[in-house]
Structure 1
Amino acid sequence: MPSTDNPSTLPPFDPARARAVRQQLGLTLGQVAWAVAAYRGAPLHPETLLAWESGTAVPDEAEVKGLAAALWCSPVALVGEPATLAQCRTVAGLSPGETAARLGMTHARWEEAERRNRWQGTAAQTGALLRVLRPPPSCFVAVCGRTEQLKVLLREAVASWWPNYVTSVTRLVPLDPTAIQAALERLALGYQRLDQATGTSPRAAAEAEARAAEFLEHVDLHLWHALRTPADPARPDRDHRDS
């Protein structure tokens, strides 16, 4: 099996996942710091590891590899969601040649797609891409160059009758229409609360208008958040700007 720890194609480090792996192993910060230092041949203070796990500092690529060795896991277990074709391939544990073969394209064609981070495959190749690399919806939409088109549809959907847009959005975002429907409903409700907010002063009204405008500007990020976090029926939905 090819190496999956090429740091140049790893997604961003995820502090929560790293902390969870260490805690599941029952290791202290000092024990892990010692193991990382032994692997890399350079000292590592436990407070540095604590900073990584709390998100106040970010390990470099070599440090992620050392941390993974200390925790007896693959580096992909310590990172977040892939955002590029190269990151998707790394998370899948495939070499460029293996990826090209599984997608039914030449090695050179895949390397070009990965280098440009732009997908222009055939329908059959796209189906294989979704099955083999399983790119997150936000990544797939971005590499296909559909982000702006999606944002236009989402703005129209939340500002009008959102059920009319489920099919159109599903054509861009390869997910079950039921998931898209639920997410669009949440977005529409969130935007309506902002759009209909009335303040007791011109300043409050202006602030509400600004929040509504910001929601529309980042409406695609709100969609990804809604798809990742199903609504809790016990709590009213809250607007969220995804990071």
Structure 2
Amino acid sequence: MSSTDHHPAALPPLDPHRLAAVRGQLGLTTGQVAWAVAAYRGRPLHPALITDWEQGRAHPRPDEVEALAAALWCAPADLVGEPRTLLECRTVAGLTPAEAAAATGLPQHRYLEAEARNRWRGTAEQTAGMVAALRPPPAVYVAACGLTGKVRIMVREAVTGWWPHHLRALHRLVPVEAHLLERALGLLHDAYQRLQAEAEAGDTARATDAELRAVAFLDRIDAHLWQALRDSAA
């Protein structure tokens, strides 16, 4: 992969838990990691900053994530969180634009255009190739295909009504295994119904609070779906 194919800015943000886990597996102290990062970058780094990164109190720049990966003998993708765009998916997958384009069956210029706009308009076959090559998280896939609004409406209807009725239609839009989507929808439905029960059974203040939480829950229902799918897959 040439320097023009990969840029550290295309990486997702650091996952503090992954950094701590990798360092722990290697048995290195924060001081040893700081020394190795400093040697890689050619400038000093205080060990306290490694601790701050691991605890989420500070956030390294993409070039610092790459230096951390070199210090910990791992790939940068091993230290970062979930990709948020098609570009970040390709970076984490370790593919060049040419490799990604070949996997999707698109000419490279068309693939790069889709990546730059974070919008996907491929055929069913091209989309299957994209999913297999880039392994986009459901949120990234849905957003790139312009389906976020449609999915949000369908999930709202599912959790406020009879959710199994919506399972098949949602499965056509969200690229996850059916049993994971089924479990996630069931959990969201139960969570919303508990809020509704609180609103109906509590005193005035408690009912009002539950109603507000129910509204907020529905306002962010797609984010709740993505988290429920992560939890179901764990």
* Structure-1-length-normalised TM-score: 0.91
C-alpha distance in structure 2 between counterparts of 1:12 and 1:143, whole Å: 19
Residues 101-120 of structure 1 mapped to structure 2, 5 A cutoff:
101-120=102-121
Asked whether the equivalents of residues 5 and 75 of structure 1 are also in contact (C-alpha less than 8 Å), the reply is no
Q: What whole-Å deviation, never above 9, does each CA across 1:91-126 have from its counterpart, x for those lacking one?
A: 111111111112111111011011101111111100
Instruction: Give the AA of the match of 1:101.
Output: A
C-alpha distance in structure 2 between counterparts of 1:135 and 1:141, whole Å: 9
Inter-CA distance 5–55: structure 2 relative to 1 (3 Å threshold)? farther
Question: In the alignment, which residue of structure 2 is the partner of 1:17?
Answer: 18
Q: What whole-Å deviation, never above 9, does each CA across 1:187-214 have from its counterpart, x for those lacking one?
A: 1100000012146432221111000001
Asked whether the equivalents of residues 5 and 74 of structure 1 are also in contact (C-alpha less than 8 Å), the reply is no
Q: What whole-Å deviation, never above 9, does each CA across 1:38-69 have from its counterpart, x for those lacking one?
A: 11011100001100000000001111111111
Residues 7-156 of structure 1 mapped to structure 2, 5 A cutoff:
7-156=8-157
Instruction: Give the AA of the match of 1:204.
Output: R
C-alpha distance in structure 2 between counterparts of 1:200 and 1:182, whole Å: 28
Asked whether the equivalents of residues 198 and 206 of structure 2 are also in contact (C-alpha less than 8 Å), the reply is no
Instruction: Give the AA of the match of 2:226.
Output: W
Looking at secondary structure, tell me which structure has more helix per residue.
2
Instruction: Give the AA of the match of 1:222.
Output: H
- The alpha-carbon deviation at position 230 of structure 1 amounts to 2.8
Unaligned runs of 5+ in 2: none
Number of residue pairs matched by the alignment:
232
Asked whether the equivalents of residues 76 and 91 of structure 1 are also in contact (C-alpha less than 8 Å), the reply is yes
C-alpha distance in structure 1 between counterparts of 2:169 and 2:208, whole Å: 32
Asked whether the equivalents of residues 40 and 66 of structure 1 are also in contact (C-alpha less than 8 Å), the reply is yes
Inter-CA distance 231–131: structure 2 relative to 1 (3 Å threshold)? closer
C-alpha distance in structure 2 between counterparts of 1:91 and 1:48, whole Å: 24
Instruction: Give the AA of the match of 1:112.
Output: E
Asked whether the equivalents of residues 7 and 62 of structure 1 are also in contact (C-alpha less than 8 Å), the reply is yes
- The alpha-carbon deviation at position 227 of structure 1 amounts to 1.2
From 214, 219, 222, the equivalent of 2:221 is 219
- The alpha-carbon deviation at position 231 of structure 1 amounts to 9.6
Instruction: Give the AA of the match of 2:228.
Output: A
Instruction: Give the AA of the match of 1:207.
Output: D
* Structure-2-length-normalised TM-score: 0.95
Unaligned runs of 5+ in 1: 233-243
C-alpha distance in structure 1 between counterparts of 2:177 and 2:49, whole Å: 42
Inter-CA distance 229–13: structure 2 relative to 1 (3 Å threshold)? same
Asked whether the equivalents of residues 13 and 62 of structure 2 are also in contact (C-alpha less than 8 Å), the reply is no
